[in-house]
Amino acid sequence: MAKAVPFPHVGYNEPSHKRVRVVFGGEFIVDTTRARLVWEHTYYPTYYFLHSDVPNKLLQASSSLPRPPESGTEVCDLVHNGQRAPKAAILHRMGPLAGLVKIIFDKADAWFEEEEEIFVHPKDPYKRVDVLQSARRVRVELEGTLLADTLKPRLLFETGLPVRTYIPKTDVRLDLLVHSELTSACPYKGVAGYYDVKLPSGEKRDGLVWWYRNPTVECADIKGYVAFYDEKVDVFVDGVRVDRPSTHF
C-alpha cells in the first residue's frame, strides 16, 4: 500500500500565490494575497493569515474552552454582523507561526481562491488525482458472496493514498445494495453518497460502498461508478487476490 508522501512534512509552510477570501456574517472578512499554506499533518494543508489581514474587531477571546490552549496561542470566537462562531480562530503569538491566524475552515460561511469557491479544505499543491480506464478483471466478494465483477474498472490514483477501483453499477450486485443517508465531501472529487451492503444471510455492513453522482471536473470519469472499501472486502484482480490495504493512511 502507498504510504503518505514524506513531503510536505508536518510543520512545513509556504506562501500561497492565490488571492484568498473568507466570507463570514455575509461579508468578506479576509481578502489577501499573503495567505500561507501550513501542513498541520501530512494529508492536506490549512490556510493561515497574517494577523494584520484579520481585523482585531473580528476576534474575541473565547470564554469557554474544552482544554487549555497550547502555549503561545489564543483561541478566539469569530464575531461579525451579529454572527458569532465559537472557537473559530486561533491566534499564534509565539513559535514558528507567530503573527499568524488560523480560521477553522468549516466555521466560516464560504472560502474563495481567486473567483472559485473551495470546499472542505484547501487542495494540496503537491498532490494530484488521476483516473485511468483499465481492462483488468476486478472481482469483489464479501464472505464468499459476489458483490461485483467487471472488465472495465476505472482506477483512481491519488498521491499518498491507496488506489481506488470504481466499477460501473451494471457490473455490481445492485440487489445487495441499500441506500444510506451517509455522505462525505472531498475537494478533489466532490460529494459522495453511500450504500450499505445487505448479504443474503441478512447481515448488513454499513457504508461499505460509495459513489459520486456529480463529481468534480477533474474526476468526471468516475461519475455514476461505485467503489468498495478494499479494506473490508476481498478483491481479486485478474484472478489473484490482493492484500487488503491498511486503514491507517
Number of domains within the chain: 2
Q: What stretches in the chain show pLDDT beneath 50?
A: 1-2, 4, 67, 248-249
Answer yes or no: do 155 and 91 share one domain: no
Select from 83, 118, 153 the last residue of a domain.
118
Q: Report how far residue 243's alpha carbon sits from residue 229's, in angstroms, rounded to the nearest whole number.
A: 13
**Upstream peptide bond of 8 is cis (omega within 30 degrees of 0):** yes
Specify if 123 maps to a domain: no
DSSP for 72-87 reads TEEEEEEEETTEEEEE
Specify if 136 maps to a domain: yes
Show contacts of 194-198: CB within 8 Å, 24+ apart: 195/226, 197/142, 197/147
For residue 246, the model assigns a pLDDT of 65
Full domain range(s) for residue 73: 13-118
Answer yes or no: do 204 and 152 share one domain: yes
For residue 123, the model assigns a pLDDT of 95
Number of H helices, E strands in the chain: 0, 22
For residue 249, the model assigns a pLDDT of 33
CATH number at residue 103: 2.170.150.40
0.75 surpassed by pTM: yes
Answer yes or no: do 181 and 96 share one domain: no
Q: Report how far residue 113's alpha carbon sits from residue 123's, in angstroms, rounded to the nearest whole number.
A: 10
| All cell numbers assigned to 5 | 508522501
Contact 17, 34 (CB under 8 A): no
For residue 1, the model assigns a pLDDT of 37
Answer yes or no: do 39 and 58 share one domain: yes
Q: Report how far residue 54's alpha carbon sits from residue 143's, in angstroms, rounded to the nearest whole number.
A: 55
Answer yes or no: do 92 and 53 share one domain: yes
Q: Report how far residue 107's alpha carbon sits from residue 20's, in angstroms, rounded to the nearest whole number.
A: 16
Specify if 183 maps to a domain: yes
For residue 65, the model assigns a pLDDT of 57
Contact 48, 10 (CB under 8 A): no
Select from 94, 118, 142 the last residue of a domain.
118
Answer yes or no: do 46 and 68 share one domain: yes
Answer yes or no: do 139 and 169 share one domain: yes
For residue 39, the model assigns a pLDDT of 96
Q: How far is CA 7 from CA 39, 42, 47, 197, in A?
A: 10, 8, 17, 37
For residue 4, the model assigns a pLDDT of 47
Select from 80, 95, 118 the last residue of a domain.
118
Specify if 246 maps to a domain: no
The amino acid that residue 162 corresponds to is P
For residue 85, the model assigns a pLDDT of 96
